[in-house]
Amino acid sequence: MIRLFRYLWYLLFPPATRQDITTPSEDKIGLTSDELREDLHPMGEDPKVEVVTTDSNKSYMWLLNAGGGSLTKGGKAPEKIKGKLFQEWEFNRDIVNRIASGLDDLGIRYFIVMPETNVGNCVKRRVKIINELVNGFADDYDYDPVLLSIGSNSYGKGERWRTPRGYEIWHKNNDNLSHDLAMEFHDAMDDEGYPIDARQTPLRTRTGDKEFYLFRNISIPCVQTENGFYTNKEECGKLLDPEVRQHIANAHVHAIAGIEGF
């Protein structure tokens, strides 16, 4: 379905022809983060980006974005569970790292956006990183970048336990490819053994100024998974469990593998 849509899309809206588009060259594969930033931005002033390249010939470059950081206000469970306090930024990065490990095993190409922890939300900085990556690689590679943001949800101000629960998947508004990709992630999570239930309406989008700032300000397909409510005591306990986290990461990897044709 995804590949049929992309084929029809390119028939209707063919990309501008360029004489200098090539497949990845050997000198761009395996660059370190510093070498890549120097190659794209000789002044060396661009933000830190963690880069992972493989020998993959698949069609997408997955930009993995873990929301928040250790300096983000809030983003914590109301209280500890069995001596552990849930912090959203830590959960998001743990899931991203687990996804990255799974993609390594499959040889699927990805970037981790802002892997450093000592940051806040920094949404404008994330937009700058993503747009520079997309623009910087446009002339050298034949894959399509896709943003996959990882988050967890809350209800209220986080001062007490609440009843809302379940995962939800957001996609860029009025973007059919984003919607189709979100459906693939939902299909991977909509499994009898999945540890987090779906919300009543698991696939969601926002319009106009209410759409996520990140989605509005980058041109590529966007999907964001909100992997349960840490303000729900039962669900928060699950999100602290390493086995549950691995199950969540595995579902994301399974979705990506299906999209890539594995």
Task: Provide the pLDDT for residue 52.
Answer: 44
pLDDT at residue 136, rounded to an integer: 75
Q: What is the pLDDT of residue 155?
A: 95
Q: What is the pLDDT of residue 160?
A: 96
Q: What is the pLDDT of residue 142?
A: 72
Token digits of residue 255: 């979705």
Cα 262 from Cα 254, distance rounded (Å): 9
Quick one: three-class SS letters along 26-55? HHHCCCCHHHHHHHHCCCCCCCCEEEECCC
Give the burial class of 47: count Cβ atoms within 10 A of its Cβ; 0-12 exposed, 13-18 middle, 19 or more buried: middle
Sketch out the chain's domains with CATH numbers: 41-259 (3.40.630.40)
Cα(128)–Cα(181) distance, integer angstroms: 23
Cβ atoms of 196 and 120 closer than 8 Å: no
Compute how many other C-beta atoms are within 10 angstroms of the C-beta atom of residue 244.
Answer: 18
Q: Are 174 and 219 spatial neighbours (Cβ–Cβ below 8 Å)?
A: no
- pLDDT value of residue 228: 97
Which stretches in the chain have pLDDT values below 70? Answer: 1-58, 137-141
Would you state the pLDDT for residue 140? 65
